[in-house]
Amino acid sequence: MTERSPTCFDRLVPVSDRYADLPVADAFTWTACEDEVGPGEWYMVAFRSTRRPRADEARLTAYDAWAHDEAMVAPGFVHYLKGPTTVDGRCMSFCLWDGRAEARAAAGRPAHRDAVALTHESYAEYTLEFHRVRRLEGDGGFTFEPYDAPAIGQATAGRASRRVAPEFASH
């Protein structure tokens, strides 16, 4: 595994064993790192999933670690949090990036593509969510909004998440 310096985001943990059912803003202990993060804006890709009962956990873990190592050296990478799997097989993980372009470029790398190829055999269902995470000067906390949300006054609605049953997913 590639080594990196710890960041304040490493202190994020799920708020409860029901975290995977909560909005991402409420699911983790964001206040644990507020004081160390200056103003800024980041792009988040959250991955919610429900494991298939016979998913190969060792294989899934190995591919996840490989994709994580690859992402950590990609331009724009900020943080990856792999959430724990709950007793009912649910999980939420996320990756923070400096911007959407960097996240999309990293998604095309070999380890990520190979990890994505496991979705059909590993997950009963999964959802991708795309968020804009902000920390404004003096506001005291993080804000989360759908990445494609329209600007104030814009008439067209954006789409923040995509729910996909693996048998209908395209690569």
Each residue's pLDDT expressed in tens, for the chain with a length of 171 residues: 344 445 889 999 999 999 999 999 999 999 998 888 888 999 999 999 999 999 999 999 898 888 988 898 999 999 999 999 999 999 999 999 999 999 999 888 888 888 888 888 899 999 999 999 999 887 778 999 999 876 554 443 333 444 444 443 443
pLDDT the model gives residue 111: 80
pLDDT the model gives residue 151: 54
Q: How far apart are CA 151 and CA 159, in angstroms?
A: 13
The residue to which tokens 């103003």 are assigned: 39
pLDDT the model gives residue 38: 87
**What backbone torsions phi and psi does residue 127 show, to the nearest 5 degrees?**
-135, 135
pLDDT the model gives residue 167: 45
Domain spanning 38-168: CATH 3.30.70.100: yes
Contact status, residue 169 vs residue 120, Cβ threshold 8 Å: yes
CA 132 to each of CA 43, 59, 107, 142: distance values in angstroms, whole numbers, following the listed order: 5, 31, 18, 10
Contact status, residue 78 vs residue 10, Cβ threshold 8 Å: no
User: DSSP states of 145-163 as a string?
Assistant: EETTPPPTT--S----EEE
Domain ranges of the chain: 38-168
Amino acid at 29: T
The H-or-E segment that residue 95 falls in is: strand 90-97
Contact status, residue 127 vs residue 48, Cβ threshold 8 Å: yes
Contact status, residue 123 vs residue 50, Cβ threshold 8 Å: yes
Handedness of CA 119, 125, 131, 133 (dihedral sign): negative
pLDDT the model gives residue 114: 85
pLDDT the model gives residue 51: 94
pLDDT the model gives residue 6: 54
